[in-house]
């Protein structure tokens, strides 16, 4: 059993949890994910690791209500335990294989949309600790949905917040902020975008205009997390890949975003149907 040792509410539909998992904490790297299972008959949920503490043997995950299974996990409390936590899975971010002395002085820009803030954090921290210059652009619909702002500001050189309604930071989309930075001559050696698929598509189109190398994470389309279900098939440079075993991070310019968006829509409809049936069964029509 894997005990929840800390739970923190980030938004009305989003919580952060620190979970005891010593072996996983000892080996996980930025960019990788784990699979949690709540109850013997619970669904396997793949989640990108938000943080890890090797000394205390804990890993941090962020859960947002999206369907029946995530709702169940959302309402778990400190002291409760997951039946299973499996990982680390997937490939680490490419910069993990770069010597520290080469990372020092490099410049990175991260573009995070909504829940994408969680997997951006360990990557930004890793690079910041090794002397890289790190800028982070966080996007959300409104100020109330901006998460991990204080944590993120401690591991980057510049934090830019964008909200659709202008309630915090710049009003508008993250692509507008990225373009403004690039237009003013800001140089980055690499960009990383993590968030909703449609956001990553338009970040890619923006970055391409300025020849900015860009990586995206396709963690949001993973289902089984082992490559067995085939739900996360995606075309990368014309070849079929699986986000869970070949990724979750890929060269943004090789991703067929339109295909990925169509696949994501299919599973979203199924999840909504399942969640609705769950609520009816609990008398919450």
For helices 197-209 and 174-183, angle between their N-to-C axes, nearest 10 degrees: 10
pTM of the model: 0.86
Contact 197, 205 (CB under 8 A): no
Query: CATH says 94-217 is which class?
Result: alpha beta
* C-alpha R_g of the chain: 18
Please tell me the predicted confidence (pLDDT) of residue 107.
Answer: 96
What is the average pLDDT value for the chain, to the nearest integer? 86
251 burial level (CB within 10 Å; 0-12, 13-18, 19+) = middle
What average pLDDT does this structure show over 27-50? 86
Q: Which residue has the higher pLDDT, 34 or 225?
A: 34
Nearest to 161 by CA among 169, 152, 171, 173: 169
Query: CATH says 2-89 is which class?
Result: mainly beta
Q: Which helix (H) or strand (E) holds 103?
A: helix 100-103
SS3 content of the chain, % helix, strand, coil (to 5): 35, 30, 35
Domain limits of the chain?
A: 2-89, 94-217
Nearest to 242 by CA among 230, 253, 224: 230
Distances (CA, A) of 246 to 118, 226, 249: 21, 10, 8
Question: What does residue 114 show for φ and ψ, rounded to 5 degrees?
Answer: 55, -125
What average pLDDT does this structure show over 231-254? 82
Whether 271 shows a pLDDT value over 70: the answer reads: no
Residue-wise pLDDT for 204-230, tens only, equals 999 999 999 999 998 776 666 566 666
Q: What is the distance between the alpha carbons of residues 89 and 22, in angstroms, rounded to a whole number?
A: 15
Residue-wise pLDDT for 6-16, tens only, equals 999 999 889 99
Residue-wise pLDDT for 72-84, tens only, equals 888 889 998 888 8
Residue-wise pLDDT for 152-190, tens only, equals 999 999 999 999 999 999 999 999 999 999 999 899 999
What average pLDDT does this structure show over 236-247? 80
């Amino acid at each position: 059993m894997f005990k929840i040792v800390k739970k923190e509410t980030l938004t009305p539909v989003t919580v952060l949890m620190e979970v005891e998992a010593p072996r996983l904490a000892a080996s996980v790297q930025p960019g990788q994910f784990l699979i949690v299972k709540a109850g013997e008959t619970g669904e396997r949920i793949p989640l990108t690791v938000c943080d890890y503490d090797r000394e205390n043997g804990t890993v941090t995950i962020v859960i947002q209500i999206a369907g029946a299974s995530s709702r169940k996990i959302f309402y778990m409390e400190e002291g409760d335990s997951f039946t299973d936590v499996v990982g680390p899975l997937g490939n680490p971010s490419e910069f993990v294989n770069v010597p520290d002395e080469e990372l020092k002085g490099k410049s990175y820009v991260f573009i995070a949309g909504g829940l994408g803030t969680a997997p951006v954090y360990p990557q930004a921290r890793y690079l910041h600790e090794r002397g890289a210059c790190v800028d982070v652009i966080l996007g959300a619909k409104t100020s109330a949905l901006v998460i991990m702002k204080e944590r993120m500001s401690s591991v980057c050189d510049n934090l830019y917040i964008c909200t659709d309604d202008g309630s915090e930071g710049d009003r508008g989309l993250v692509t507008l902020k990225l373009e403004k930075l690039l237009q003013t001559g800001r140089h980055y050696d690499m960009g990383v975008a993590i968030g909703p698929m449609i956001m990553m598509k338009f970040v890619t189109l923006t970055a391409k205009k300025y020849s900015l190398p860009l990586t995206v994470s396709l963690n949001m389309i993973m289902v089984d997390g082992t490559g067995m279900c085939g739900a996360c098939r995606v075309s990368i440079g014309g070849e079929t890949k699986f986000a869970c075993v070949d990724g979750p991070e890929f060269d943004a310019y090789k991703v067929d975003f339109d295909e990925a968006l169509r696949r994501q829509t299919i599973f979203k409809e199924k999840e909504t149907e399942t969640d609705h049936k769950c609520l009816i069964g609990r008398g919450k029509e």
